[in-house]
Structure 1
């Protein structure tokens, strides 16, 4: 059961990271864009 919980937590974390990363990358691109 512990292993299942760990996998579920990792999947949740990975999905949140996948959602957050594009927004962060776009933010960085907007902030540091030379144009």
Structure 2
């Protein structure tokens, strides 16, 4: 459930060990939001 944290901001790059795939998907969703 770290997806919610990624939505917070640049924390996605700080948590690449959790799920690199999730980070990529969220990264693409962040600009849309």
Q: Do the two structures share a fold, i.e. TM-score over 0.5?
A: no
Q: Which one has a larger percent helix, Structure 1 or Structure 2?
A: 1
- TM-score when normalising by structure 2: 0.39
- TM-score when normalising by structure 1: 0.37
